[in-house]
């Protein structure tokens, strides 16, 4: 992909397919990828991967139904490349230190500051522009929260102010485990018996 252009389509097996490029669309994809209700409780890893891929393609590509089945894998690869803005991952597993949905309340002000406007009020903002602003977030509440999460994940010692901040803001700093509606019902039923 050309980093100097904002793509509005992806070429799959020589055919250009229009994509939805607003940042909200990609955030919907990322949210769906982490939605435990998207899968059956006993789904295999392969089934989960297939459902995730299919969901991503349906949300991103405007005419996903016209993509031939034999080109589905390439369409997924191109979609992931678009979402990652063409940046290659080093392949090393990194600790989970942020969640788009949970952290929205502290990500939005940081991106607003970078963009110089209220991004939610914009009728359209390309995903790459949004992601570029995200990458330019400097010192702010969000970066402090992520820094503490990363230190905790790597079992590094927190500074005194970080410990105090963590104790005062556990709900903000602790990443919530996503549970399905079915799991929530089971937990609620269990609590009734206690």
Mean pLDDT for the stretch of residues 130-151: 95
CB atoms within 10 A of CB 89: 9
Res 41: pLDDT: 74
CA distance 112 to 137: 10
pLDDT at residue 93 is higher than 90? no
| Partners of 16 in the β-ladder | 11
**37 pLDDT exceeds 70?**
yes
166/110 same-domain check = yes
Average pLDDT of the residues of the chain? 89
Query: What is the DSSP secondary structure assignment for residue 126, as one 8-state letter?
Result: B
Residue 142 within a domain:
yes
Domain count, the chain: 2
Q: Examine the domain organization and report whether 161 and 118 are in the same domain.
A: yes
Instruction: Give the number of other CB atoms < 10 A from CB of residue 133.
Output: 19
Residue 92 included in any domain: no
Task: Report pTM.
Answer: 0.85
Query: Is 1 contained in some domain?
Result: no
d(CA 6, CA 17): 14
Same domain? For 76 and 115 the reply is: no
Across the range 49-54, mean pLDDT stands at: 91
Domain that holds residue 76: 9-83
> pLDDT at residue 193 above 70?
no
Average pLDDT over residues 140-146: 96
Query: What is the predicted pLDDT for the residue at 152?
Result: 93
Residue 109 shares a structural domain with residue 54: no
Q: Is residue 24 part of a domain?
A: yes
| Cβ–Cβ < 8 Å for 192, 48 | no
Q: Is residue 19 part of a domain?
A: yes
pLDDT for 151-168, tens place per residue? 999 999 999 999 999 999
Residue 88 belongs to some domain of the structure: no
- 95 in a structural domain: no
Does residue 34 surpass a pLDDT of 70? yes
Share of the chain above pLDDT 70, in %: 88
- Work out the end-to-end distance of the chain between its first and last CA atoms, rounded to an integer number of angstroms: 56
Do 72 and 131 belong to one domain? no
Task: Look at residue 96 and tell me if it is in a domain.
Answer: no
Mean pLDDT of 72-81: 96
Say if residue 26's pLDDT is above 60.
Answer: yes
pLDDT higher than threshold 70 for residue 187:
no
């Amino acid at each position: 992909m050309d980093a100097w252009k904002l793509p509005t389509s992806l070429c799959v097996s020589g055919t250009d397919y229009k994509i939805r490029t607003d940042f909200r669309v990609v955030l919907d994809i990322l949210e769906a990828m982490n939605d435990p209700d998207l899968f059956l409780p006993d789904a295999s890893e392969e089934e989960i991967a297939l459902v995730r891929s299919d969901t991503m393609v349906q949300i991103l590509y405007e005419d996903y139904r016209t993509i031939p089945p034999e080109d589905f894998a390439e369409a997924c690869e191109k979609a992931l490349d678009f979402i990652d803005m063409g940046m290659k991952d080093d392949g090393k597993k990194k600790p989970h230190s942020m969640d788009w949905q949970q952290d929205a309340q502290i990500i939005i002000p940081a991106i607003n500051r970078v963009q110089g406007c209220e991004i939610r009020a914009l009728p359209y903002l390309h995903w790459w522009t949004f992601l570029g602003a995200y990458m330019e977030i400097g010192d702010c509440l969000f970066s402090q929260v992520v820094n503490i999460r990363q230190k905790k994940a790597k079992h590094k010692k927190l500074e005194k102010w970080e410990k105090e901040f963590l104790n005062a803001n556990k709900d903000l700093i602790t990443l919530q485990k996503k549970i399905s509606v079915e799991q929530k019902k089971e937990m609620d039923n269990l609590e009734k018996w206690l």
